[in-house]
């Protein structure tokens, strides 16, 4: 008999969590203005708001923290991080930042100017926010297959080469670089194939454009290449990672995901002149170039996390838990973006709550219903996140309205996934009774979903 699959780690420390009553949750979400970001964490039972900075660090990472060098300039922890990035990712020039959006802010301060176009595959919220804040335009060139949640396609995160080439033919002079997000978060945590990365690299070469990777979940992307793409089954994750990044000129990284740390990020690039241009902004916005908003102890933990996060056994455990939740939803007939993504399950709110008008925020309504049902906090990836058109100020309605259930790394057990699945089933079973959504009371002019205030629609 084949042995069942089990986690590639054992648990050393636990944190208590408390189940609340529905009556409590109804009061709490009202006080939070129907924005799950506003909830204190002790009002949440299972927190799937994000996988960013919420993972459990290993004993190796905690021991590395104790050896952190907190020198302002030239700390040994910086060189530990630099060596790890060079050895694992292949970049010679690096710049630490306090997290991924800071890396975008520094790099885009050099590369993006008003009127530019930045094509890529489904730019995530902070990426698009930093582009539009500079009065530039994010252009989505994701393959059309990503919009069909029921379609099984191994690499739904891919850039459509024809879309990209056609756009560059017309607008090349206003495109400073192309960005590829690995994995593609907005499309459902979907991976990008190695073949597609090569195709995009060739297109960038033809038009003389830089290629930048948004790399928060690069290791999960490598796992899918190993398990789904022909010719990579016998290669290690680290070998696949080196090839992936060989096609990039620069990268930004939120290390709070695949490097399994609570804070931190970095920029890496091949060109020393680009590093020099970024350094002035890094010093202004973040800190000196050898710490950039990070402590020495956190750089040490990040260096170890890059190593651990690119090991197959860890990735298999991590991704199979996401798959497990997807399989439970399949049992209940609940529609989600298939196949299951690398870091989250993305429930298709358009199919769960089609009777809710789209201007009443279907995915956010579903997120609120799940919280009321069981104290599970997810996040809307839909019209709230898509924000308003910066010129017309009209709501942008994306093709997909998704409730993202982002699973922290090494944090919850499959028993917790069972709770989430059954809670969703209970909501799904009464979906026809959910006839009204939400309306906005107040919103920020950009990236509104973090701080928006809502109320039940009348």
Residues with catalytic roles = 72, 124-125, 214, 216, 257, 449
Inter-CA distances, 380 with 106, 177, 304, Å = 27, 29, 32
Q: Which parts of 172-236 fold into alpha helices (H)?
A: 194-207, 218-228
| d(C-alpha 373, C-alpha 386), whole Å | 26
* CA-CA-CA-CA dihedral for 276, 281, 282, 284, to nearest 10: 130
| d(C-alpha 368, C-alpha 243), whole Å | 42
Which of 257, 452, 446, 435 minimizes the C-alpha distance to 360?
435
Cβ count near 205 (within 10 Å): 11
Do residues 49 and 377 lie in contact, with contact meaning Cβ atoms separated by under 8 Å? yes
Largest CA distance in the chain: 63
Do residues 119 and 167 lie in contact, with contact meaning Cβ atoms separated by under 8 Å? yes
| d(C-alpha 185, C-alpha 344), whole Å | 9
- The residues near 327 (Cβ < 8 Å, ≥ 6 apart) are none
Give the N- to C-terminal CA distance of the chain in Å, as an integer. 58
Q: Is the dihedral of CA 201, 203, 208, 214 positive or negative?
A: negative
């Amino acid at each position: 008999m084949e042995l069942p699959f089990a986690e590639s780690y054992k648990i050393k420390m636990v944190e208590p969590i408390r189940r609340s009553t529905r009556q409590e949750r109804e009061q709490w979400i009202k006080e939070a203005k129907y924005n799950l970001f506003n909830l204190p964490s002790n009002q949440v039972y299972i927190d799937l708001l994000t996988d960013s900075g919420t993972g459990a660090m290993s004993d190796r990472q905690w021991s590395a923290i104790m050896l952190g060098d907190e020198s302002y300039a030239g700390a040994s922890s910086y060189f530990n991080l630099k060596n790890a990035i060079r050895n694992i990712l292949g970049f010679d020039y690096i710049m630490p930042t306090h997290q991924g959006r800071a890396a975008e802010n520094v790099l885009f301060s050099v590369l993006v100017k008003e009127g530019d176009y930045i094509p890529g595959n489904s730019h995530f919220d902070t990426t698009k926010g930093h582009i539009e804040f500079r009065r530039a335009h994010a252009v989505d060139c994701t393959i059309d297959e990503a919009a069909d949640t029921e379609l099984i396609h191994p690499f739904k995160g891919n850039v459509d080469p024809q879309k990209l080439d056609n756009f560059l033919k017309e607008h090349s002079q206003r495109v400073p670089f192309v960005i590829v997000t690995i994995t593609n978060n907005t499309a459902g945590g979907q991976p990008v194939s190695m073949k597609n990365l090569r195709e995009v690299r060739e297109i960038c070469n033809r038009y003389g454009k830089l290629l930048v990777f948004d790399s928060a979940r690069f290791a999960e992307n490598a796992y899918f290449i190993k398990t789904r793409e022909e010719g990579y089954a016998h290669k290690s994750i680290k070998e696949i990672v080196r090839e992936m990044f060989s096609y990039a000129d620069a990268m930004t990284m939120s290390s709070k995901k695949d490097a399994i740390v609570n804070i931190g990020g970095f920029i890496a690039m091949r060109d020393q002149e680009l590093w020099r241009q970024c350094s002035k902004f890094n010093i202004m916005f973040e800190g000196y170039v050898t710490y950039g908003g990070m402590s020495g102890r956190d750089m040490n933990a990040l260096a170890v996390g890059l190593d651990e996060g690119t090991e197959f056994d860890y990735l298999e455990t991590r991704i199979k838990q996401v798959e497990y939740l997807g399989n439970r939803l399949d049992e209940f007939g609940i529609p989600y973006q298939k196949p299951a993504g690398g870091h989250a399950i993305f429930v298709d709110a358009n199919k769960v709550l089609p009777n809710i008008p789209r201007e009443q925020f279907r995915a956010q309504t579903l997120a609120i219903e799940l919280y009321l049902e069981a104290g599970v906090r997810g996040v809307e990836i839909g019209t709230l996140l898509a924000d308003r058109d910066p010129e017309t100020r009209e709501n942008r309605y994306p093709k997909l309205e998704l409730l993202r259930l982002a699973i922290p790394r090494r944090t919850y057990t499959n028993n917790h996934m069972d709770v989430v699945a059954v809670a969703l089933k209970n909501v799904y079973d009464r979906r026809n009774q959910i006839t009204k959504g939400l309306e906005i009371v107040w919103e920020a002019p950009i990236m509104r979903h973090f701080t928006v205030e809502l109320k039940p629609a009348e």
